[in-house]
């Protein structure tokens, strides 16, 4: 049995040459995004899955096939694993046509079936009519489609994508996102994609694993991770900039709120009884938890957490405005992004003050680390 409609799981540990303590899994038909900064071990793990590099310890399992198990001295070759791999710069042979590049991956098929299969996959990735072009005659997006056709024509157990959209422009990237999402629906195999682009992971992935210094920080559904980062390191990887110190005051179980002090403000978040009264804590306020006056009626939503901000800077970025502001008793600034039209409606200017609320359900108290 292959990985189709089945589970893929990995647990790898090693000290050198790069430290790894990684665990993640996905099922057939799911796309798992490995997200982390450069040097976090993402591409190394992809090579280990493909069989191009051997870990020191752990297990890699696809369906009912064990690809690697250090304890049992199992390590299948790349050919035995039958993985489809799209490397970061596509790995196409420059002297060969698109058709020949796909044919190069089809040695598992009888001779008479290879060309029809290659042509069928080129058509499926919207390259019909371009079979005789060499990579230099193709755009970046077309080169990526050739690499994807070559990987999928092998009928792989698992598809690996290493920064698949890094080398193409934004417009091409948007088109390729749609095509990959459609392919994912059609195919029942697990897909593991390396990316450092959080927006890409949120758009495409069914599951996401955050990696830092070779270690799995957190795995789960992307929007769940974004709403509930496990610690401060995870929050920073997710691009959350509003991280502040506070002191935990009390838990109000009847109201399902936890109260804490930060600067000169008494704030509340959803009940989180992990923290002892009086303990120093770190808390986060994602952009989605910050509300200015609603554009229509000039009012603020109901919340215990009302702040008066002094605007330090406004930076217009297309249809949005990035605001940096201060509030009483806090040295660190508060960052927020709002629509340009709302900034105009509220007549926001540098030096102005404005009221905001922090929604209780959006604030989080974080573990250290």
- pLDDT tens per residue, range 320-367: 999 999 988 888 999 999 999 988 888 899 998 888 999 999 999 997
Say if 354 falls within a structural domain: yes
pLDDT digits (tens, 9 = 90+) for 173-227: 888 888 888 888 888 889 999 998 888 999 899 999 999 999 999 999 999 998 8
Say if 1 falls within a structural domain: no
State residue 120 phi and psi, 5-degree precision.
-60, -40
Tokens of 167: 């080398």
Residue 254: pLDDT band (50, 70, 90) is: very high
The pLDDT score that the predictor gives to residue 360 is 92
- Specify whether the CB–CB gap between 229 and 366 falls below 8 A: yes
Domain CATH for 346? 2.40.50.100
- Specify whether the CB–CB gap between 163 and 196 falls below 8 A: yes
Q: Is the pLDDT of residue 3 over 60?
A: no
In total, the chain counts a number of residues equal to 369
Q: Is the pLDDT of residue 156 over 50?
A: yes
Q: The dihedral of CA 305, 311, 312, 315: what is its sign?
A: positive
51 in the Ramachandran plot: left (φ > 0), alpha (ψ -120 to 50) or beta? left
The pLDDT score that the predictor gives to residue 81 is 92
- Domain count of the fold of the chain: 2
Q: Is the pLDDT of residue 31 over 90?
A: yes
Residue 6: pLDDT band (50, 70, 90) is: low
Domain CATH for 55? 3.40.50.300
Please, where are the H alpha helices in 194-311?
198-204, 222-227, 232-237
Lowest mean pLDDT of 182-186, 273-277, 307-311, name the range: 182-186
Q: What is the mean pLDDT of residues 144-158?
A: 91
Are both 40 and 86 inside the same structural domain? Answer: yes
Tokens of 47: 């090579």
Say if 61 falls within a structural domain: yes
Q: Tell me the pTM.
A: 0.86
Burial call 326-359: b when 16+ CB within 10 Å, e when fewer:
bbeebeebbbbebeeeebebeebeeeeebebbbb
E strand or H helix that includes residue 47? helix 42-50
What does the alpha-carbon distance between residue 79 and residue 288 come to, in Å, rounded to a whole number? 46
Tokens of 132: 């005789």
What does the alpha-carbon distance between residue 339 and residue 333 come to, in Å, rounded to a whole number? 20
Tokens of 306: 């009302």
- Specify whether the CB–CB gap between 268 and 259 falls below 8 A: yes
Q: Any idea of the CA torsion for 187, 190, 194, 195, to the nearest 10 degrees? A: 60
The pLDDT score that the predictor gives to residue 296 is 45
Residue 2: pLDDT band (50, 70, 90) is: very low
- Specify whether the CB–CB gap between 146 and 122 falls below 8 A: yes
Say if 248 falls within a structural domain: yes
Report helix, strand or coil for 113: helix
Say if 2 falls within a structural domain: no
Say if 184 falls within a structural domain: yes
Say if 56 falls within a structural domain: yes
Cβ burial, residue 75 (10 Å; 0-12/13-18/19+): middle
Are both 258 and 290 inside the same structural domain? Answer: yes
- Which residues span the domain enclosing 307? 243-366
Q: Is the pLDDT of residue 244 over 70?
A: yes
Burial call 218-233: b when 16+ CB within 10 Å, e when fewer:
bbeebeebbeebbebb
Q: Is the pLDDT of residue 295 over 50?
A: no
Are both 204 and 353 inside the same structural domain? Answer: no
Say if 86 falls within a structural domain: yes
Are both 18 and 149 inside the same structural domain? Answer: yes
pLDDT digits (tens, 9 = 90+) for 67-118: 999 999 999 999 899 899 998 888 999 999 999 999 998 988 899 999 999 9
Are both 273 and 306 inside the same structural domain? Answer: yes
Tell me which of 237, 264, 283 is where a domain ends: 237
Are both 228 and 250 inside the same structural domain? Answer: no
Tokens of 244: 């502040």
Tokens of 130: 């371009």
Are both 248 and 308 inside the same structural domain? Answer: yes
Q: Is the pLDDT of residue 44 over 50?
A: yes
Tell me which of 237, 254, 274 is where a domain ends: 237
Are both 66 and 182 inside the same structural domain? Answer: yes
Q: Is the pLDDT of residue 1 over 70?
A: no
**In the predicted model, what is the mean pLDDT of the chain?**
90
Are both 249 and 212 inside the same structural domain? Answer: no
E strand or H helix that includes residue 183? helix 170-186
Are both 208 and 346 inside the same structural domain? Answer: no
303 in the Ramachandran plot: left (φ > 0), alpha (ψ -120 to 50) or beta? beta
Are both 51 and 166 inside the same structural domain? Answer: yes
Are both 188 and 282 inside the same structural domain? Answer: no
The pLDDT score that the predictor gives to residue 345 is 86
What does the alpha-carbon distance between residue 169 and residue 227 come to, in Å, rounded to a whole number? 29
What does the alpha-carbon distance between residue 331 and residue 184 come to, in Å, rounded to a whole number? 47
Tell me which of 237, 268, 285 is where a domain ends: 237
């Amino acid at each position: 049995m292959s990985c189709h409609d089945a589970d893929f799981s990995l647990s790898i540990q090693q000290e050198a040459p790069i430290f790894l303590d990684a665990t993640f899994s996905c099922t057939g038909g799911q796309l798992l995004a490995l997200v982390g900064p450069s040097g976090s071990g993402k591409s190394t793990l992809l090579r280990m899955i493909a069989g191009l590099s051997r870990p020191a310890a752990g297990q890699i399992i696809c369906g009912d096939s064990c690809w690697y198990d250090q304890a049992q001295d199992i390590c299948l070759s790349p050919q035995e694993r039958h993985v489809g791999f799209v490397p970061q710069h596509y790995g196409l042979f420059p002297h060969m046509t698109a058709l020949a590049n796909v044919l190069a991956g089809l040695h598992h098929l009888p001779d008479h079936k290879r060309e029809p299969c290659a042509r069928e996959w080129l058509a499926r990735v919207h390259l019909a009519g371009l079979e005789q072009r060499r990579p230099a005659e193709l755009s970046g997006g077309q080169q990526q489609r050739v690499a994807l056709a070559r990987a999928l024509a092998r009928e792989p157990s698992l598809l690996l994508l290493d920064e698949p959209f890094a080398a193409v422009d934004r417009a091409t990237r948007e088109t390729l996102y749609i095509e990959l999402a459609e392919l994912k629906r059609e195919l029942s195999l697990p897909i593991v994609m390396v990316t450092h682009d959080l927006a890409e992971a949120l758009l495409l992935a069914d599951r996401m694993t955050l990696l830092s210094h070779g270690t799995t920080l957190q795995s789960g559904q992307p929007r769940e991770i974004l709403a509930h980062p496990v610690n401060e390191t995870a929050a920073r990887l997710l691009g959350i900039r509003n991280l502040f110190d506070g002191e935990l005051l009390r838990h109000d179980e009847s109201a399902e709120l936890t109260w804490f002090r930060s600067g000169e403000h008494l704030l509340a978040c959803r009940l989180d009884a992990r923290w002892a009264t009086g303990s120093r804590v770190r808390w986060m306020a994602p952009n989605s938890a910050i509300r200015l006056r609603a554009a229509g009626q000039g009012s603020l939503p109901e919340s215990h957490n009302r702040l008066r901000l002094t605007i330090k800077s406004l930076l217009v970025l297309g249809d949005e405005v990035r605001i940096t502001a201060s509030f009483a008793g806090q040295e660190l600034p508060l960052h927020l992004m709002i629509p340009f039209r709302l900034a105009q409606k509220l007549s926001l200017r540098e030096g102005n003050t404005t009221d905001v609320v922090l929604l209780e359900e959006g604030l989080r108290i974080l573990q250290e680390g």
